[in-house]
């Protein structure tokens, strides 16, 4: 594949030419979308986003179907699949710094953060291999008469992995490693907004699988927007879909999958609360709020959506938050010293500004203290909005913007925390850990962290569920692998129907 060199700002960074991998062949799609990719730091327009054409999508689906029917991958013993996944992980480890830079360039997330999150890329493949060796796809039970009963978890058929733009390579790695571990022939489609790192990831995965003698249909990459995604999810040959993204896209995909009962896993984001209990240390509250507001530039599904503060201490905490925000260094995401980068695209920046304007019209007051560079870059100072009625702050904003709400009683705080149709993540802070845990157990969300604000899950082996409009099903180390499988129960019964003589 050819590549495009950048100037002195990006140093050695070279943007890959955005291509597709279909049935073992790399090709640069001829179709172009209306969307023009941008350098979010400079605000410069780059090339138009590419899309795989209808013929390429059809060829990819047929190749995946043929690979599944052949059993070339699905019939390999799990331990043999684990060896290939480990080889992928080893090849990806050599690419980590480059992938982190590509992610930073495309998304605006500081490279210091993309480097940390990037360890998920090889880690996902190693962890999936470990799960296969642990035997998660086969269970043994004993029937009532002492006869053996087996539960085999087998690939449902070709799988589709749809990846968003905010952390493309790590999310692609998690989904692809899981679907391949399940034995599924896999098609990956990244977001059209950030295709670079996933293109490089696919290059590595495809190369390792080809070296292992596998047919090209076992793993493929297509490019494009909702049109390409729609053709894929509506194809009856696709038997399992995993999607992370927005609510509108999730609803459309769910409707498409319903007609053929295609297995579906959705993570659609959330309007996540951080509830600061009255006994919490104000400095700790401020640090957690800033972490959750600005990690990945606020562009992550578990970011802060609602800051819920005790009325008596709200002003002090708000001032401490703004003081911390003022210390952040906003700038070039490729600079190791940068704390906060630009948002991904001018289109998204316009959405964020519109969301702030909508809430200020509803009575909100915007508070921001971070100095951001002037010029054409897509910068937005992290913003807290006070005075917004609860009913006007129901939906996720997906950026460094959150509403602030106060309470007098814990029941009021709980009502605010649970006052959205979402339920992905919750956060509770308090000096009395047992009291905080008691409160956390009543927050309606798939995961609720007490006294923590990192981007990582509470435990590697716990599920990452989604309640309400936050999605469908559960993600996780085991859960995502099993999302691509169906169970087949086999055993000796040794009995007869009641009417048999």
Q: Which residues are marked as active site?
A: 267
How is 449-492 classified by DSSP, letter by letter? EES---SS-S-TTS-EE-EETTEESEESTTHHHHHTEEEEEEE-
Distance CA 312, CA 338 (A): 34
Report the distance separating Cα 423 and Cα 295, nearest Å. 20
Kindly provide the b/e burial profile for residues 34-59, where b requires at least 16 CB atoms within 10 angstroms of the residue's own CB. Answer: eeebbbbbebeeeeebbbbbeebbeb
Closest CA to 269 of 298, 241, 244, 249: 244
Residue 153: strand pairing partners: 487
Other CB atoms within 10 A of residue 442 CB: 14
Helix (H, G, I), strand (E, B) or coil at 40: coil
Q: Return the biggest CA–CA distance within the chain.
A: 87
CA gap 306, 460 in Å, rounded:
26
The two three-digit tokens of residue 468, written as one number? 């309400």
How far apart, in whole angstroms, are the C-alpha atoms of residue 427 and residue 438? 12
Cα angle 488-489-492, degrees, rounded to a multiple of 5: 145
């Amino acid at each position: 594949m050819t590549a495009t060199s950048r100037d002195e700002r990006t140093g050695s960074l070279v943007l890959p030419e955005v291509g597709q991998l279909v049935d073992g062949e790399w090709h640069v799609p001829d179709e172009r979308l209306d969307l023009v990719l941008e350098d979010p730091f400079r605000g410069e327009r780059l090339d138009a986003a590419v899309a795989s054409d209808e013929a390429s999508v059809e060829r990819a689906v047929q190749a995946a179907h043929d690979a599944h029917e052949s059993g070339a991958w699905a019939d390999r013993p799990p331990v043999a699949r684990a060896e290939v996944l480990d080889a992928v992980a080893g090849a990806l480890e050599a690419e980590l710094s480059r992938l982190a830079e590509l992610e930073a360039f495309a998304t605006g997330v500081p490279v210091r953060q993309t480097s940390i999150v990037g360890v998920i890329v090889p880690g996902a493949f190693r962890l999936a291999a470990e799960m296969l060796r642990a035997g998660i796809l086969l269970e043994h039970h004993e029937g009532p008469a002492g006869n053996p009963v087996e539960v085999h978890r087998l690939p449902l058929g070709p799988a589709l992995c749809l990846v968003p733009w905010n952390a493309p390579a790590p999310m692609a790695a998690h989904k692809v490693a899981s679907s391949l571990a399940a034995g599924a022939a896999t098609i990956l489609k990244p977001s059209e907004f950030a295709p670079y790192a996933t293109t490089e990831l696919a290059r590595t995965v495809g190369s390792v699988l080809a070296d292992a003698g596998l047919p090209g249909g076992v793993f493929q990459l297509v490019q494009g927007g909702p049109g390409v995604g729609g053709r894929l999810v509506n194809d009856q040959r696709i038997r399992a879909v995993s999607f992370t993204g927005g609510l509108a896209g999730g609803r459309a995909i769910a409707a498409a999958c319903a007609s053929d009962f295609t297995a579906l896993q959705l993570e659609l984001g959330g309007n996540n609360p951080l509830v600061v209990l009255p006994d919490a240390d104000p400095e700790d509250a401020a640090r957690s709020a800033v972490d959750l507001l600005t990690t990945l530039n606020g562009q992550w599904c578990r970011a802060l959506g609602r800051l819920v503060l005790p009325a008596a201490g709200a002003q002090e905490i708000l001032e401490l938050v703004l003081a911390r925000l003022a210390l952040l260094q906003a700038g070039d995401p490729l600079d190791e010293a940068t704390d906060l980068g630009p948002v991904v695209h001018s289109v998204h920046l316009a959405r964020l500004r519109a969301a702030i304007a909508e809430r200020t019209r509803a009575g909100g007051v915007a508070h921001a203290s971070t100095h951001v560079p002037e010029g054409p870059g897509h910068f937005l100072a992290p913003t807290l909005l006070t005075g917004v009625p609860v009913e006007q702050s129901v939906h996720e904003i997906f950026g460094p913007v959150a509403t602030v709400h106060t309470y007098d009683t814990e029941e009021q705080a709980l009502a605010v925390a649970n006052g959205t149709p979402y339920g992905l993540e919750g956060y509770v802070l308090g000096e009395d850990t047992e009291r905080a845990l008691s409160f956390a157990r009543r927050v309606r969300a798939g995961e609720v962290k007490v006294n923590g604000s990192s981007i990582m899950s509470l435990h590697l082996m716990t599920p990452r569920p989604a309640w309400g409009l936050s999605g469908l099903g559960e993600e996780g180390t085991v859960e995502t692998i099993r999302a691509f499988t169906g169970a087949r129960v086999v055993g000796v019964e040794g009995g007869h129907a009641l009417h048999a003589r």
